Amino acid sequence: MFEFEDSKTGTAFGVPLAVLLQCLCIAEQRHLVPPLEPEWEVLTIPPALRAYAVVREDT
């Protein structure tokens, strides 16, 4: 769990690592971040999590 804080209100909130990794996968698919290095991805992102983060263009 990662803790973030709203800079305007000071309110803290937690985000699970899996959610952050899903966001990274989605950002990669949308070309918002550079492609993930395959060696790093294999060690870091479980295949099921990667599959769950696939952006479908028809939705």
In a 3-state reduction of DSSP, which class is residue 42? helix
Look at residue 52 in the predicted model and tell me its pLDDT: 84
Taking the domains of the chain in order of start, what are their residue ranges? 14-59
CA distance linking residue 59 with residue 40, whole number of Å:
29
In 3D space, the residue among 14, 18, 17 whose CA is nearest the CA of residue 49 turns out to be 18
Please give the single-letter amino acid code of residue 7.
S
- What's the confidence (pLDDT) of residue 6? 94
* pLDDT for the residue numbered 58: 61
Beta-bridge mates of residue 55: none
pTM value surpassing 0.85: no
Residue 53 pLDDT = 85
CA 14 to chain centre: 14
In a structure prediction context, what are the per-residue pLDDT tens digits for the chain, which is 59 residues long? 999 999 999 999 999 999 999 999 999 999 999 999 999 999 999 988 888 888 877 65
Residue that is written with structure tokens 């479908």 in the block? 56
